Amino acid sequence: MCGFAGYFGEGVAPQDARPLLHRMVAAIAHRGPDEQGIFAGPAVGLGHARLSIVGLADGQQPMTHTNGDSTIAFNGEIFNYVELRETLKAQGHIFRTGSDTEVILHLYERMGPDCVSLLNGDFAFAIWDASAHRMVIARDRMGVRPLFYTTVGRTLYFASEVKALLQVPGVRAEMDPLALDQIFTLWAPIAPRTAFRNIFELEPAHLLIADKGGMSIRPYWQLQYPDIGEPAAYTDERVAAEELRALLTDATRIRMRADVPVGSYLSGGLDSSIVSALAAPMAPNGLSTFSVTFGSEEHDESAFQMQMAKALGTHHHAVACGDGDIASTFPDVIRFTERPILRTAPAPLYQLSGLVREKGLKVVLTGEGADEVFAGYDIFKESRVRRFCARQPGSRIRPHLFRKLYAYLPGLKQQSAEYLAAFFGAGDDLPDDPLFSHRPRLRGTAAAKLFFSGDLRQALQGYDAAAELISRLPGDFGRWHPLHQAQYLESRFLLPGYILSSQGDRMAMAHGIEGRFPFLDHRLVEFATRLPPEMKLKGLVEKHILREATKDLLPESIGRRTKQPYRAPDSQSFVGKNERDYVREAFSEHRIAEAGLFNPKAVSKLYEKCSEKPASGYRDNVAFVGILSTQLWQQTFSATKALGAQAA
């Protein structure tokens, strides 16, 4: 796990190449604190910051093939590198290191850019192909590892984080108004757009190839589901459960490969408990597990964490996210997310990765991805209930099912059937709407845009982020089962756009920690897409097939737990006794007016409301955190007014 940066083109003078690369790498040194390296040639440069995990003594980067034809800068891990190396050796390839990095170079020699099809891993890399005079850039299938790019003149610049690109002369940090609208609707920009105008994200499962003829981008893999009516690939639940167990076990096994100890996050929920249970017997010196605890009963899962740690006999460590901790760390969180965010959930994970580093580990397994792959989120069940209610719009019984879905939200327990139906929009949306499953979330989130300034509204000129999302859906989307449509929306957009970035890579790598995700092994993902919907969501029981496949691994109380989504206190983290000077300053009318993105009077009223009543509702919390994080983003990155030009 590392970070890299580079360029391709004539825009960098030879005497400026190494100083520029050093500045770019220094900006992301937190990603690779163990070692740095530079490669510079005519019109091409690569820089690398290394976190030593595999091939400690012999995997230095950038790495050049022994034949001199190709040089790579690589971020991440190739988990099947051992098997690939043996195959390549049998074909006559000779290796001088034991690293997965060199395996990519040899595989590229044999297959060119198509080598990505054989890689099982979480990766981003850039290969300079001197013989073909081209730069080949790739990102893993699910978007675990980040990669950004921009152009200045005819020169392409790229890096693991935007911070590195901001070291390039001519690259400016300006807020993209359309990206901000997307964040305040969808929680994240729609790639390739980023919060930064004219700086782009390479989408998951894509290749970027640049040569003298220009630049082209293409997908090499796609998330695909069967059409409705297509014969089921699996009809026997027992057989499917056995195959799932085998795939998940192997996905965990190959993610335990490292020259350093591998730990595991343990939230107390089903997914991280399964991963920890599979990993524990594979850890030669015992498994270290790590958790976040909260003082708030609504957010805390420590009882389940301790139960699971005790059952597995792990070396367990916990970090307490107490009053004021979120406010104390939030400016750093935004510096690492490099984008505004709508919830505070990344902040405790920032603390957690700090604990992992403090305990001397560099690698942790996590349960992320299981909810997307096996239909674990409440939104999937909610969508099913909304369709159920829509078939009998006048029913006073059916809306009570919503209360069952959200037992962890005390505010819903006493509400009437009419309130529940209205709150969740039962009957409001057309069943054939491509975004049917997500409309209530989108409406609730987009309500925060009421705080946008007149100038920002003018710049957006009626832009519709949800409509753009629909335009990005594949042509066969409408032929999929509704559950699969909802899974696609989560897996293709929110997962890489927020979960794996703001809550995942960025919070872990802020402390030089690599997260590994067994549930996102592409073999497991492809297997799950072929499962019948009822094996994943059986009635209102989420992840049914996963529970069946792993029920012998967990205490019954954890194996049967319903999904409790990971959340953290929002606006209440910044008001009252938790208030900080930077928060008051960010919400001051003159700072809001100076930034130009929000209505100063409306924001002032919101701040007063949340200060007086910290337990504000979802919409107020989203607006509060979104405005604060945007103000911090402006302060951290932008040297110019956000609306210096009209939306592109």
Would the pLDDT of 539 be above 70? Answer: yes
What is the per-residue pLDDT for 563? 80
**CB burial class (10 A; 0-12, 13-18, 19+) of residue 468?**
middle
Distance CA 330, CA 280 (A): 33
Distance CA 27, CA 159 (A): 10
Distance CA 405, CA 317 (A): 31
What tokens were used for 379?
A: 């939104």
Share of the chain above pLDDT 90, in %: 84
Contact partners, residue 15, CB within 8 Å, separation at least 6: none
Would the pLDDT of 399 be above 70? Answer: no
Per-residue confidence band for 372, with pLDDT thresholds at 50, 70 and 90: very high
Q: How many CB atoms lie within 10 A of CB 402?
A: 24
Would the pLDDT of 643 be above 70? Answer: no
Per-residue confidence band for 407, with pLDDT thresholds at 50, 70 and 90: low
* Least reliable range by pLDDT among 90-94, 285-289, 321-325, 415-419: 415-419
Share of the chain above pLDDT 70, in %: 93
What is the per-residue pLDDT for 56? 45
Contact partners, residue 588, CB within 8 Å, separation at least 6: none
What tokens were used for 59?
A: 């995997």
What is the per-residue pLDDT for 54? 58
> What amino acid occupies position 499?
I
What tokens were used for 359?
A: 């305990």
Per-residue confidence band for 423, with pLDDT thresholds at 50, 70 and 90: low
**CB burial class (10 A; 0-12, 13-18, 19+) of residue 394?**
exposed
Minimal CA–CA distance to 404: which of 392, 388, 390?
A: 388
3-class DSSP state of 109 = helix
Per-residue confidence band for 405, with pLDDT thresholds at 50, 70 and 90: confident
- The residue-averaged pLDDT of 334-357 equals 98
What is the per-residue pLDDT for 248? 98
What tokens were used for 385?
A: 């209930």
Helix count and strand count (H, E) for the chain: 27, 17
Is the CA virtual torsion 237, 238, 244, 247 positive or negative? negative
Per residue in 193-209, pLDDT (tens digit) is 999 999 999 999 999 99
What tokens were used for 389?
A: 């209610």
Distance CA 25, CA 41 (A): 17
Would you give the end-to-end CA distance of the chain in angstroms?
34
What is the per-residue pLDDT for 564? 81
Distance CA 266, CA 366 (A): 8
Distance CA 604, CA 593 (A): 11
What is the per-residue pLDDT for 96? 93
Distance CA 161, CA 25 (A): 10
What is the per-residue pLDDT for 356? 98
What tokens were used for 226?
A: 């069967």
Contact partners, residue 404, CB within 8 Å, separation at least 6: 540
Would the pLDDT of 95 be above 60? Answer: yes
How distant is the alpha carbon of residue 289 from its chain centre?
21
Per-residue confidence band for 604, with pLDDT thresholds at 50, 70 and 90: very high
CATH numbers and ranges of domains, the chain = 2-171 (3.60.20.10)
What is the per-residue pLDDT for 417? 67
Residues in the chain: 648
Phi, psi angles (nearest 5°) of residue 393:
-55, -30
Distance CA 175, CA 143 (A): 23
Helix (H) or strand (E) holding 394: none
Would the pLDDT of 231 be above 50? Answer: yes
What is the per-residue pLDDT for 644? 39
What is the per-residue pLDDT for 389? 81
Per-residue confidence band for 639, with pLDDT thresholds at 50, 70 and 90: low
Query: How many degrees, rounded to 5, is the angle at CA 491 between CA 308 and CA 137?
Result: 110
Distance CA 599, CA 607 (A): 12
Instruction: Supply the residues annotated as catalytic.
Output: 2
What is the per-residue pLDDT for 614? 72
3-class DSSP state of 552 = coil
3-class DSSP state of 73 = strand
Mean pLDDT of the chain: 93
* Least reliable range by pLDDT among 29-43, 232-246, 279-293: 29-43
Helix (H) or strand (E) holding 506: helix 506-509
Give DSSP secondary structure letters for 563-628: P-------GGGSSGGG--HHHHHHHSHHHHHHH-SB-HHHHHHHHHHHHH-SS--HHHHHHHHHHH
Find the DSSP H helices in 301-377.
Answer: 302-312, 325-337, 346-358, 370-373
Would the pLDDT of 640 be above 50? Answer: no
Per residue in 255-305, pLDDT (tens digit) is 999 989 999 999 999 999 999 999 999 999 999 999 999 988 888 899 999
Distance CA 142, CA 121 (A): 10
* Least reliable range by pLDDT among 51-65, 154-168, 602-616: 51-65
What tokens were used for 248?
A: 């998940």
> Please, are residues 95 and 106 in contact by the beta-carbon 8 Å criterion?
yes
